[in-house]
Amino acid sequence: EDLTDEQMAGAMAAGLPFGLENLGNTCYMNASMQILNNAPDLVDALGTVSGGRTPYDQQQNLTVAARDLVKQMKSATKPISPMPFLQQMRTVFPQFDQRGEGGAPMQQDAEECLTQIMHTLSEKVKKEDGTSVMQDLFGIEVETKVKCAETDEEPEIVEKEKLLKLTCHIEGSVPAGDGTNKGGTDLMTQGISKGLQGSMEKNSPTLGRSAVYNKTSKISKLPKYIIGQFVRFFWKQDTQKKAKILRPVKFPVTLDMKDFVTSEYSERIQKYREAELKKQELEKEAKRAKKFGDAPKEEEKKEEAASTEKMETEGEGAAKPEGSMEVEEKPEFGEDCWATYELTGVLTHQGRSADGGHYISWIKKDNGQWYKFDDDKVSEVKEDEVKKLYGGGDWHMAYICLYKKSPVVLGSDSTRY
């Protein structure tokens, strides 16, 4: 239903952002676009897309429609009709134009919609050097080791690939001997670990037949944004329909990705964290010294820290070339050493079937306030409400999570639920 004049006036008075109108089972698309719209770097990049529509390139037309839609979302003074974008998406991806009884549009899978939009933008939105903006912002570089499980004679193969999202696999608990159920996926981090491992069957040149291969993946480069997808839907052969996994799985408000990266990458992240924790400790000491007038002790601490950083940079006891000048350098850490991510968006599904139910998005804006985007109905919510979206019943449950990289270091493990 459209907002009444009274509701619209109330939303404007409250300073609420405006949502997208439901054009007939299009909540999946609206929720997906709210997630992408909460990546300001992507929105800015879309704003640089030039030109209009063309009869020769429908994917370009979809990109132009996305540009125009996020521009409207940025300055809206009333709910927005996303009809131009919907029509173009259905032109490029006819599966989203399926009709049910009476010709009404059918409900679609939000993850499939989000994936298709992201792949289109990955191809069409470029930086000045010609590289993909989407890959730069969301691309997760992964190294995968593939080893034959049936012979040690075949050497291990290392493959490299880029992903635009991480999958969180959900496993059920299994009966234990004491009559209880044990195991299963309870936390998002467990599901990500499962998603980075797997097995497959392919022809083995060593054995001359089909064999099982084990795959283990580690991340070699972390992007600015991470999209995590809970694999909640699966195909049931007996009913020939998609079924939904209702098992509750908690997702963190602060996600630490250090445990999922390569050993070399992990070492760099660890050095950055040690430097940050030392800096935090010095700042605490400085405040304490200022409060109690212990300035001399603080100066000693700073000198000691500077000496330590110098040794870390140059190597303790390292020989200096003759005639070389001693330059005290501090270790430089770029954003690639940040491995902590803050939750900024959750796309949820309510219902027990992928072919029905309702999708909405829960978005955290830069001011720290969370909003619930239920199509064109937008309301403020508290973070505690968002934390309850982990599933287990008929309420909205997390299907897709959006995380943004942060320099924050909370300790050896920064994950917080």
417 vs 415: CA distance, rounded Å: 7
Q: Which residues, in sequence order, are CB contacts of 66 under 8 Å at separation 6+?
A: 33, 46, 85, 117, 121
Among 368, 376, 366, 371, which Cα is nearest to 346's? 371
Q: Are 294 and 288 a contacting pair, CB within 8 Å?
A: yes
Strands 370-374 and 377-381: antiparallel
- Return the bridge partners of 158, or none: 145
Catalytically active residues are 27, 358
- Reported as type and span, the H/E element at residue 310 is helix 295-314
Structure tokens at 315: 């190597």
C-alpha 30 chain-centroid distance: 18
Among 225, 230, 309, 239, which Cα is nearest to 275's? 309
Q: Which residues, in sequence order, are CB contacts of 114 under 8 Å at separation 6+?
A: 32, 35, 36, 227, 347, 400
Number of C-alpha atoms within 13 angstroms, CB side, residue 12?
Answer: 12
Structure tokens at 208: 């001359």
For 119, 256, 290, 410, the CA distances from 281, given in Å and listed in that order, are: 44, 21, 14, 12
- Return the bridge partners of 261, or none: 219
Which amino acid type is present at position 256?
D
Give 134-155 as a DSSP string.
HHHHH-EEEEEEEEETT-SSSP
Q: Are 151 and 144 a contacting pair, CB within 8 Å?
A: no
